[in-house]
């Protein structure tokens, strides 16, 4: 095959079935990781912080301490250069977890038990690997573009949005709001809070925590492994698994100080329910059961903060816009339909560009003989993941659960290196379980 093909999704989304996220989108936890600063990946939860909802934003004077524009000029935004994979952290996480799983299995085979583990061989292998935002992008069809690399029986999706043209102030305000929620406000006066905020600086948006989980779709049996960013933990929750919180900040020019929770929703979303649909989808696909919403003024002072159960937001969306609620209710069916189409269409010797624009989604095929084939493959797959899957080796520091991300820009191995016996056993075991040819 030497010429590229462009294929269009074979149907409009007219007959989608309404399905429940509770029963049809069951998440099975696989792993987690965090990025610390610009250059450190770590198997850790240290970036998963408890968030505190301030309850003393009663008037303009007290709300001044929570200003989300102050000092934004020094803020650094996260960007992805062309030669950097937008999915690198997830692939590093998979490398680390696969290595750990294979090492545990090898230890158990030798008669030494190092703790409970589930053999990959006894599991169905995930077919689709991506960031969690892919699902929302499929549902909304707002023009996002992804690159797809079929690799060792799996389809790896990477967004082409490299965040190169971010507005510094807009990026800063949301991250700044999250950072301010990490301050325990209880028992502090407005002046004390103002002083705390002055000392607490938001330098960049590099650091984050992400959970990695699998979902098996009921109609097709396809398994999707994705990573979802979690903004924080609810301060009142007793179970961390059910305490994940999404944080959103929106601008509203009308006076909403003192509004109760329902009044605030009505004022912010009644004329623009699409925004609420987007937020509800993000929470539903990522597994955040609650949403903290802040409303700021035109001068960037936050005047109202409320926390909502996801179920509350879904019911409110249904009340104000049946059309938008229908988008939410059919989201699982739409995502599974698109995944099924891609799964049945792609060929192993090609890479693809997926354009999600309106009802006619387009999949462009780039055969191995095309000039863009190597470029897409190199921009999606990372050095660490490539070397592990092809040669069975990982950096020593990653074996301990940490990695310097600057090393990802170094070349991939092109020939099989000398591997220690322990690494070789781990590789053999992994290849058997994943059904991957060495």
Tens digit of pLDDT for each residue in 374-383?
999 999 999 9
Residue 14 counted as domain residue: no
Give the model's pLDDT for residue 109. 55
Q: Give the number of domains in the chain.
A: 1
Residue 292 counted as domain residue: yes
Structure tokens at 339: 């995944």
> Each residue of 208-247: pLDDT tens digit?
999 999 999 999 999 999 999 999 999 887 665 568 999 9
Q: Is 285 helix (H, G, I), strand (E, B) or coil?
A: helix
Q: Is the pLDDT of residue 324 over 60?
A: yes
Give the model's pLDDT for residue 104. 82
Which domain range does residue 307 map to?
20-79+163-329
Average pLDDT over residues 24-28: 97
Residue 55 counted as domain residue: yes
Q: Which residue has the tokens 């009921």?
A: 218
Residue 427 counted as domain residue: no
Q: DSSP secondary-structure letter at 410?
A: S
Residue 311 counted as domain residue: yes
Residue 179 counted as domain residue: yes
Structure tokens at 129: 């690997």
Give the model's pLDDT for residue 412. 78
Q: How many CA atoms lie within 13 A of 258 on its CB side?
A: 4
Burial 26-40 (b: 16+ CB within 10 A, else e): ebeebbbbbbbeeeb
> Each residue of 252-290: pLDDT tens digit?
877 777 788 888 999 889 889 999 999 999 999 999 999
Query: Given pLDDT bands bounded at 50, 70 and 90, which one contains residue 410?
Result: confident
Average pLDDT over residues 172-183: 94
Query: Given pLDDT bands bounded at 50, 70 and 90, which one contains residue 114?
Result: very low
Give the model's pLDDT for residue 152. 95
H/E element holding 150? strand 142-151
Q: Is the pLDDT of residue 392 over 60?
A: yes
Per the model's pLDDT, the better-predicted residue between 364 and 431 turns out to be 364
CB-neighbour burial class of residue 160 (10 A; exposed 0-12, middle 13-18, buried 19+): middle
Structure tokens at 275: 């925004």
Closest CA to 261 of 290, 297, 298: 290
Give the model's pLDDT for residue 174. 96
Residue 89 counted as domain residue: no
Side by side, which strands form the sheet with 290-296?
A: 50-51, 232-234, 244-251, 290-296, 302-309
pLDDT above 90 coverage of the chain, percent = 63
Closest CA to 405 of 179, 138, 91: 91
Residue 143 counted as domain residue: no
Closest CA to 139 of 319, 298, 275, 338: 338
Give the model's pLDDT for residue 262. 87
Give the model's pLDDT for residue 72. 94
In 57-132, alpha helices (H): 60-63, 88-109
pLDDT above 70 coverage of the chain, percent = 86
Give the model's pLDDT for residue 400. 96
Query: Given pLDDT bands bounded at 50, 70 and 90, which one contains residue 310?
Result: very high
User: What's the mean pLDDT when you consider all of the chain?
Assistant: 87
């Amino acid at each position: 095959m030497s010429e590229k093909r462009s294929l269009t999704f074979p149907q409009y989304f007219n007959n989608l079935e309404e399905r429940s996220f509770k029963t049809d989108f069951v998440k099975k936890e696989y792993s987690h990781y965090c990025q610390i600063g610009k250059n450190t990946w770590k198997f850790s939860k240290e970036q998963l912080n408890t968030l505190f909802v301030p309850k003393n934003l009663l008037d303009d004077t007290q709300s001044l301490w929570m200003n989300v524009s102050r000092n934004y000029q020094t803020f650094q935004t996260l960007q992805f250069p062309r030669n950097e994979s937008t999915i690198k952290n997830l692939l590093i996480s998979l490398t680390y977890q696969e290595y750990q799983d294979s090492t545990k299995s090898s230890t158990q085979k030798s008669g030494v038990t190092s703790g409970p583990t589930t053999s990959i061989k006894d599991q169905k292998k995930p077919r689709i690997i991506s960031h969690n935002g892919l699902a929302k992008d499929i549902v909304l069809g707002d023009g996002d573009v992804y690159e797809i690399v079929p690799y060792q029986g799996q389809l790896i999706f990477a967004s082409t949005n490299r965040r190169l043209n971010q507005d510094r102030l807009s990026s800063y305000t949301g991250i700044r709001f999250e950072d301010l929620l990490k301050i325990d406000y209880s028992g502090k006066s407005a002046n004390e809070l103002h002083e705390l905020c002055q000392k607490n600086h938001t330098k960049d948006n590099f650091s984050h925590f992400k959970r990695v989980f699998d979902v098996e779709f009921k109609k097709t049996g396809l398994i999707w492994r994705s990573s979802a960013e979690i903004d924080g933990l609810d301060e009142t929750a007793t179970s961390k698994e059910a305490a994940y919180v999404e944080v959103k900040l929106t601008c509203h020019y009308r006076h909403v100080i003192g509004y109760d929770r329902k009044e605030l929703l009505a004022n912010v979303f009644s004329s623009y329910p699409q925004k609420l649909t987007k937020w509800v989808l993000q929470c539903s696909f990522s597994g955040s059961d609650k949403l903290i919403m802040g409303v700021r003024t035109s001068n960037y002072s936050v005047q109202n903060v409320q926390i909502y159960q996801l179920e509350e937001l879904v019911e409110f969306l249904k009340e104000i816009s049946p059309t938008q609620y229908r988008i939410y209710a059919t989201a699982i069916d739409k995502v599974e339909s698109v995944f099924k189409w891609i799964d049945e269409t792609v060929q192993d010797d090609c890479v693809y560009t997926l354009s999600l624009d309106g009802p006619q989604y387009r999949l462009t095929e780039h055969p191995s003989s095309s000039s863009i084939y190597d470029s897409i493959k190199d921009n999606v797959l990372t050095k660490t993941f490539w070397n592990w899957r092809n040669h069975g080796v990982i950096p020593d520091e990653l074996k301990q659960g940490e990695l310097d991300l600057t090393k990802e820009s170094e070349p991939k191995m092109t020939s099989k290196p000398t591997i220690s016996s322990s690494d070789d056993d781990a590789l053999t075991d992994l290849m058997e379980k994943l059904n991957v040819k060495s």
